[in-house]
Amino acid sequence: MKNLSFRILGIIATLLIATSTAASTVTPLYIFAYEKNQAAVQTSACGNVFVPTNVGCQNTDSQIQGDENAVALTAQQAFPAPEQVQPPQPPDLSTTIPVGDNPVALQYSPATNNIYVANFNPQAPDQLTGTVTVIGPDDTVVDTLNVGINPTALEYNPANGNIYVANEGSGSVTVIDSNDMVVGTLNVGQDPSDLQYSPATNNIYVANFASDTVTVIGPDDMIATTINVGNFPLALGYSLTTRSIYVANDDTVTVIGPNDTVVGTLNVGSGARALEFSHATSNIYVASFGSDTVTVIGPDDTVVGTIPVGEEPVALQYSPTTTSIYVGSRETVTVIGPDDMIATTINVPVESTALAFSPFTGSIYVAAGFEDTVTVIGPDNTVVGTIPVGEQPAAIELRLGSLYVANSGSSSVTVIPTDTVISP
């Protein structure tokens, strides 16, 4: 036992001396600095050592021989360049549909399950007619209909299943029935700019920008009346609470009651461009392009607040998921909570030209007119990602599980399934 102990001690001493000698000529592995925590346990023919995974275990300078394996300590380590791994790209599941020149408005019809596209075509001022492209349920063009000059807005009337087309250049409204036939053309005021359906009256209301009037079209497709409003009416909205129509004029809002008479005129910011109703607050929100504000009109038709937002707001959208109002401005989307306080401000590319909500995802979709993208804002009010579309997206519409984007600069409509994998 004594002799065996001495022999063991002698062997250990010899190994310690050899190790000390080898260590005097080898830089210890642990003094190297590795980026992003690359160190790992590596088992190889060289033995078990702690080395970074991108370092080769090769050595010609020194070795310690063991009973069954050799451990090589590398005096001059080689650091190969890390492999560049590209992240997987999401599949492009979008479809592009060629339509007429300069599409600026979209409308879904539950009666036909079609999408209707108003092609403004500003390059042909002497044209006798404009066009509406009809996209069928299989995302193919099933018809192209002749309408008035420079069609600029569309609306659906569930009372009769018809589509209404505001023709800015000819001061008229074209009526398309559920068989996709043009069944009438009605003369309205000059430069009709927007359309709004009222569930209270089953009428269609037409904002005539250059006439300072609103034309009322009954469910029998006859003109019921014409109402004088403020200067340059540009946009229309409806309140489920008051059952009234709201008309965004230059710096006022005209309120038209369910009996089609004016019941109030309210002062708002300059350049009123868009209106939206909130189911959470029963308020009407008015985006004013010239004053960078949103005016809040209460259910008693009085102004209850003015909220500063981003530069040049042009679009509004209510989200039932967050019960908030989203304001599309230049390079930002402002989120106004149900308490009418700003919840957050989200940066987006360039100018927001249109907003849409999808109940399938709970997200808000923001068209960036000069960036050729749609930004997706999730229910947590963070940017989920962006989707490339055509040039100068001008309008967004939803049909079941797909999003339709009118690209005014490339004369096309991009179709995006709302479950598409989105690139961050």
DSSP 3-state assignment of 33? coil
Q: Could you identify the residue written with the tokens 């021989």?
A: 65
Instruction: Supply the pLDDT for residue 124.
Output: 58
Q: How far apart are CA 203 and CA 212, in angstroms?
A: 19
Stretch among 58-67, 294-303, 400-409 having the lowest mean pLDDT: 58-67
- Look at residue 72 and tell me whether its pLDDT is greater than 80: no
The residues, any chain, with a CB within 8 Å of residue 262's CB and separated by 6 or more, are 227, 228, 229, 254, 255, 256
3-class DSSP assignment, residue 187: strand
- Which residue spans within 211-283 are E strands per DSSP? 213-217, 223-228, 235-238, 245-248, 252-256, 262-267, 272-277
Residue 368 CA to residue 350 CA, distance in Å, equals 6
Residue 120: Cβ-neighbour burial (10 angstroms; 0-12, 13-18, 19+): buried
Contact 346, 377 (CB under 8 A): yes
Question: Model confidence at 51, in pLDDT bands (50, 70, 90)?
Answer: very low
pLDDT for 424: 53
End-to-end CA distance of the chain: 71
Mean of all residue pLDDT scores within the chain: 83
Confidence at residue 257, expressed as pLDDT on a 0 to 100 scale: 98
Give me the torsion for CA of 244, 247, 248, 251, rounded to 10°: -100
Query: 43 pLDDT band (50/70/90 cuts)?
Result: very low
From CA 410, how far away is CA 256, in angstroms rounded?
Answer: 38
**Level-2 CATH architecture, domain 309-424:** 7 Propeller (2.130)
pLDDT band per the 50, 70, 90 thresholds, residue 87: very low
pTM assigned to the model = 0.78
Do residues 127 and 147 make contact, with C-beta atoms less than 8 angstroms apart? no
353 CB-near residues (< 8 Å, 6+ apart): 314, 315, 328, 367, 368, 369, 392, 393, 394, 395
Looking at the predicted structure, is the pLDDT value of residue 56 above 70? no
Quick one: average pLDDT of 208-225? 97
The predicted pLDDT at position 127 comes to 66
* pLDDT reading at 121 higher than 90: no
Report the pLDDT value the prediction gives residue 350, as an integer from 0 to 100.
75
Q: 249-283: buried (b, 16+ CB within 10 Å) or exposed (e) per residue?
A: bbbbbbbbbeebebebebebbebbbbbbbbeebeb
What is residue 4's predicted lDDT score, i.e. its pLDDT?
A: 38
User: pLDDT band at residue 349, thresholds of 50, 70 and 90?
Assistant: confident
Are the CB atoms for 112 and 145 separated by under 8 Å?
Answer: no
pLDDT in tens, 261-297: 999 999 999 999 999 999 999 999 999 999 999 999 9
Tokens of 28: 């210890």
Structure tokens at 19: 């190790």
- pLDDT for 123 equals 67
Average the pLDDT over 154-162 and give the result: 97
Residue 351 pLDDT grade (very low, low, confident, very high; cuts 50, 70, 90)? confident
Residues 175 and 148: their CA atoms lie apart, in Å, by: 10
Structure tokens given for 88: 């997987």
Mean pLDDT highest for which of 1-5, 52-56, 353-357? 353-357
Annotated domain spans of the chain = 2-72, 309-424
Is the predicted pLDDT of residue 68 greater than 50, yes or no? Answer: no
Q: What is the mean predicted confidence (pLDDT) over 212-235?
A: 98
- Kindly calculate the radius of gyration of the chain based on its CA atoms and give it in whole angstroms: 34
